[in-house]
Amino acid sequence: MAVLGNMRSLLKFIDIGVNLSDPMFRGVYHNSTKHPDDFNDVISRAKDNGMVKMILTGGYLSECRETLELCKTDVLFGYRYILLHGRLSSDSLSRVHKGGPRNISTDLLELALANKGKVVAIGECGLDYDRLHFCPKDVQLKYFEKQMDLVEATKLPMFLHSRNCHSDFIDIIKRNRDRIAGGVVHSFTGTVAEAKEILEQDLYIGINGCSLKTQENIDAMCSIPTERLMIETDAPWCEIRPTHAGYKHIKTQFPTKKKEKWEKNFCVKSRNEPAFIIQVLEVMSATRQTDIGELADQLYNNTCQLFFPK
């Protein structure tokens, strides 16, 4: 493994978005087992590469409960848990939760209030117009607005999602800004102008591999003040691929094998994992022309300020 030498041991990270309940981390892909469960290996690699905390995600209510139980185990050494509300239509909610949207909001509120200290944010709230086949625009708009009730009731920060919908997204944020106890727009892939409008709402912006695909993406990331940035992997998704503009700045490489040829101590090709957060940092540091240690410290402090205030 090629690494940064002694500097690597000094870096510390909080990954603000990890989907650790995804079956890929148990060796299951599209309902088919391809290799042994290597969840503990994934966690060990994260620890070895400076991970101090991870904010975990849950989609459906059942996943939120499952992830919360995971956070109570020793394996995650005190990592925190983020309650993900999900971007679901009312029809989908009715199918997966008896009583539909009204009851699921009540149950999520009860879960959040009963687990203070483990539930650190409300999300994933927002809009995604690239996935209208999954949830129509009018339904997304309706329930993004309704999610503000849960945010206001818990007084927790928001974990926000905005994809190809900036105008509608920022309008809803502006209308409800006095109800929001801060937040971060994660997996940012917008423009310099869009980043500016988000910052004007006193929100943070999260950067992962998807944020570093094109030079335009990188220019937008570089326009954001360091004190408003956070870092994430969104694993097992959003890895930095060789075709990405940021890839050439990566110094740390991890040995990989295809999932069908899995071996212990190898990462799985095309499956992102928390340890790869170092690669996101390397691209950010190189393109911003910023000292990597100073940047890591600032990102860590930003995250603590929003999600883990003393």
User: Could you tell me which residues are annotated as the binding site?
Assistant: 124, 161, 186, 234
Q: What is the DSSP letter of 120?
A: E
Cα–Cα distance, 83 to 64 (Å, whole number): 6
Residues in binding site for a divalent metal cation: 124, 161, 186, 234
Q: Residues with Cβ < 8 Å from 217, sequence gap 6 or more? A: 189, 211, 245, 246
Q: Tokens at residue 161, please?
A: 């999602």
| Residue 109 contacts residue 150 (beta carbons within 8 Å) | yes
Pairing of strands 32-33, 28-29: antiparallel
| Residue 227 contacts residue 294 (beta carbons within 8 Å) | no
Helices (H) then strands (E): counts for the chain: 11, 12
Half-sphere exposure of 270 (CA within 13 A, CB side): 5
Which whole-number Å values give the CA distances from 291 to 94, 217, 253, 295, 298, in the listed order? 49, 20, 20, 6, 11
What backbone phi and psi angles, to 5 degrees, belong to 257? Answer: -140, 155
Please name which of 167, 86, 93, 89 lies closest in space to residue 132, comparing C-alpha atoms.
89
Query: Dihedral of CA 87/91/97/101: which sign?
Result: positive
Q: Strand pairing partners for 127?
A: 162
